[in-house]
A and B are shown apart, each in its own frame.
Chain A
Amino acid sequence: MLDTVLSPFRHIGHLTVNAIWRLGFACRFLFAVLMASGQCLTRFGLVIREIYFAGVLSLIIIIVSGLFVGMVLGLQGYNTLARFGSSDALGALVALSLLRELGPVLAALLFASRSGSAMTAEIGLMKATEQLDAMGVMAVDPLARVVAPRFWAGVLSMPVLAALFNVMGILGGYLVGVVMIGLDSGTYWSQMNNSVDLHFDVVNGLIKSLVFGVAVTLIAVFEGYDATPTAAGVSSATTRTVVTSALVILALDFILTAFMF
């Protein structure tokens, strides 16, 4: 009787302890990956290969979503700003919202669901089919050979993708604001120029995307490495990668915004 009453609480306690356990393991894992990264420099080809899979193949989705986000910002921003008679400020609105928040966050969310999940599934499946163990037997460190190149590829790709997302968004806003609605092209750029600061907005946005890159890729490779080596285990690890990355990105974004702006 007492057992049936207490079991939900026991379950919650178990989940909490497990989460903290995994957090500690993830931190140790990050340290181990950093220690094993030396080989990435001598065999940079591995990192290049992973940049191709994580970064280059994400270009299409980043370009298309950036364009559409910029176009939506242009339309909605114009409707709201026109009500106050300040539709001239559209360029500033589009650029600032993209550079400070939308660019880094949305690019990181897309990156997590496109490349993060792929990394988790790949590493998880390598573990399930005992390829990682086989490497260990051949005295090849799987952290240095498999995990570290993916980690660095993600960290390096993320700022590039976020910058590209920003550029496409600004062009999308231009397309709607200037080409479609017919605002003045010079005003669009000069208003943007006046209100965007290189160090304050552009560089801070890039720092944000770098932090997101570290977080997303670490979660992806960690979930893959930590996955239960079964088909169901890999599947749930992939789901966890996307969900955890999304939550971590949004939480980190709040903290970084509070620090920076």
Chain B
Amino acid sequence: MKRSTIDLWVGIFVAIGIAAVTFLALKVANLTPQSSDSTYVIYADFDNIGGLKVKAPVKSSGVVVGRVSAISLDTKRYVAHVSLTLDSHYQFSRDTSAEILTAGLLGEQYIGLTQGGDETNLKAGDTLSVTSSALVLEQLISKFMTSFGEKGGDSHAASAAK
């Protein structure tokens, strides 16, 4: 059996295919570290997670240090139980606080970690105690409306008393 030009072209075709899949895998998709030895999981409970989704980034000072791996509802205390998978390069102190932030006004929500002052670090399986919930726009507006209404009512009453 002799080598022919068709073999060359099919070889090029296969090489292009491998190159395309590699490009899609490395340049287009994000390769999250899957192995358990390079990551560790901690938990955080929130009263309200707003629009937080699984795979949302976990950032500290704006640097992505991990991702949200699972979200569930704790039916004993009725709080949202969020699992955070963090890169084991990044260690945080035990009193680290977590808050749910929004990228831009209408952007995706992510978790921001703020380092605390404790000297012992978080271990895998620990739960963050200091958390603050997502800012829900409707609640904010309704709060604003109530306080605005009260203020308006007060001034109206004052002018009536005069």
Contacts and interface: CB of A to CB of B under 8 A. Distances in A.
A164 B9 contact: no
A206 interface: yes
B30 A159 contact: no
User: For chain B, which range describes its interface: under 10, 10 to 19, 20 to 34, or 35 or more residues?
Assistant: 20 to 34
B53 to A, nearest CB: 11
Interface stretch (B13-21, B74-82, B144-152): B13-21
Contacts of B25: 198, 202
A193 B16 contact: no
B7 interface: yes
A247 B7 CA distance: 34
Contacts of A164: 16-17, 20
Interface string A4-23: 00000000000000000000
Interface of B is mostly: helix
A192 B24 CA distance: 11
A167 B24 CA distance: 7
Nearest to B14: A160
Given A196-B28, A196-B30, A202-B25, A49 B17 contact: no
A49 B17 CA distance: 17
A51 B14 CA distance: 10
Interface stretch (A52-60, A224-232, A234-242): A52-60
A160 B20 contact: yes
Interface of A is mostly: helix
B13 A51 contact: yes
Nearest to A197: B29
B13 A56 contact: yes
Contacts, number: 72
A106 interface: no
B59 to A, nearest CB: 12
A86 B7 CA distance: 47
A52 B20 contact: no
A193 B16 CA distance: 22
A56 B1 contact: no
A181 B113 CA distance: 36
A82 B28 CA distance: 22
Contact of A167 (B1, B6, B23): B23
Interface in B1-55: 1, 6-7, 9-10, 12-14, 16-17, 20-21, 23-25, 27-32, 55
Nearest to A192: B28
Contact of B13 (A160, A198, A202): A160
Contact of A48 (B7, B12, B31): B7
Given A49-B6, A51-B13, A197 B30 contact: yes
A193 B28 contact: yes
A198 B1 contact: no
A166 interface: yes
Given A163-B24, A206-B21, 11 more contacts: A45-B1, A55-B13, A159-B17, A163-B20, A167-B23, A167-B24, A170-B28, A193-B29, A194-B30, A196-B29, A198-B31
Interface of A: 45, 48-49, 51-52, 55-56, 59, 86, 95, 99, 157, 159-160, 163-164, 166-167, 170, 189, 192-194, 196-198, 201-202, 206
28 contacts: A48-B6, A48-B7, A52-B6, A52-B9, A52-B10, A55-B13, A56-B10, A56-B13, A59-B16, A95-B28, A99-B24, A99-B28, A160-B17, A163-B17, A163-B21, A164-B20, A170-B28, A192-B28, A193-B28, A194-B57, A197-B29, A197-B30, A198-B29, A198-B30, A202-B21, A202-B24, A202-B29, A206-B21
